Structure 1
Amino acid sequence: MTRPDTPPTPLPATRTYDEVAVGDVLPDLPVPVTRTLIVASALASRDYQDVHHDPELARERGSKDIFMNILTSNGLVDRYVTGWAGPAAVVKAIRIRLGAPNHPGDTMVLTGTVTAKSDADRRVDIAVKGTNSLGSHVTGTVTLQLPVEAR
């Protein structure tokens, strides 16, 4: 708990449209894939499929263990891109495809590159990829709208 006389932590700056260029590379974001992350995020997204929380049933269905659901992967991609862009960025679209599963004990590393800009509406496309020890877990594109001025 913070003390009442402690000033609030300022929000990080949001990148402006003019600060971003095609070819810019986002910093890597390693995400430890824990059993707790997989189970808690599946439950939080109301995904009660047993393959996301019951290791024995997941193995019966052909998986080596429980695995992350697509809603969690989508949320982590959103977090990655908006963490880079800043709080005033507006997500306009997220288009992802899943590949190799994220199992407990692995690490997914998210990477991204700015691939397009649209001057008409200040939109920026970012190609994203999340890889783990099995290969590509998630690939896709996130479209953001960035402000003209810093906020």
Structure 2
Amino acid sequence: MRTIETGQQIPEWSLPMTPTTIVSTAIATRDWQDVHHDRDVAQAAGSKDIFMNILTSNGLVEKYVADWLGHDCELAGIAIRLGAPAHPYDTLTFSGTVGEIADGIATIDVVGRVSLGDHVTGTVKVRCDG
């Protein structure tokens, strides 16, 4: 089990945004919104291309923290806010910092950035015994 300390930096993790990643994760999360798989519709709506859906962004934030901590830690809460869209042919890079630790629960601040800016910001609360 990993020792967690306030102020600790989590190593960055990057994920290439391919059209396949964006479309397949939208389908996997049962998000049929056409802007996540149809470039023409996305562009007609004002986007430069298709873009990642919020359910996938949420799952990737959780994966980033859980992969770092170990999967024996319990997720106690997650809250995210979307910003810049994650389009194909970009890279989504996550970074994180351990914030407050109180009553056995650590709050981890996470940011996922793309070339346009912060795609997702949020906090993940975890409880790790030991």
Would you call these one fold, judging by a TM-score over 0.5?
yes
Q: Return 5+ residue gaps in structure 1 as ranges.
A: 1-13
Q: Which one has the bigger strand percentage? A: 2
Amino acid at match of 1:73: S
Moved over 6 A (4+): none
Residue 92 of structure 2 aligns to a residue in which SS? strand
Question: Which SS does the other structure have where 2:43 is aligned?
Answer: helix
Q: How high is the sequence identity, in percent, across the aligned residues? A: 50
Q: What residue is the counterpart of 1:8 in the other structure?
A: none
One-letter identity of the residue aligned with 1:26: I
Q: Which runs of 5+ in 2 are unaligned?
A: none
Q: Distance in 1 between matches of 2:92 and 2:118?
A: 9
| Corresponding residue to 2:40 among 39, 45, 56 | 56
Aligned residues: 130
TM-score, normalised to structure 2, is 0.98
Higher gyration radius (CA): 1
Q: Which amino acid aligns with 2:55?
A: L
* Residues 90-112 of structure 1: CA deviation (Å, up to 9, x unaligned): 11111000000000000011000
2:90 aligned with 1:110, yes or no?
Answer: no
How far apart in 2 are the matches of 1:81 and 1:87? 9
Partner residue of 1:85 out of 69, 78, 88: 69
Give the alignment partner of residue 79 of structure 2, picking from 73, 79, 95: 95
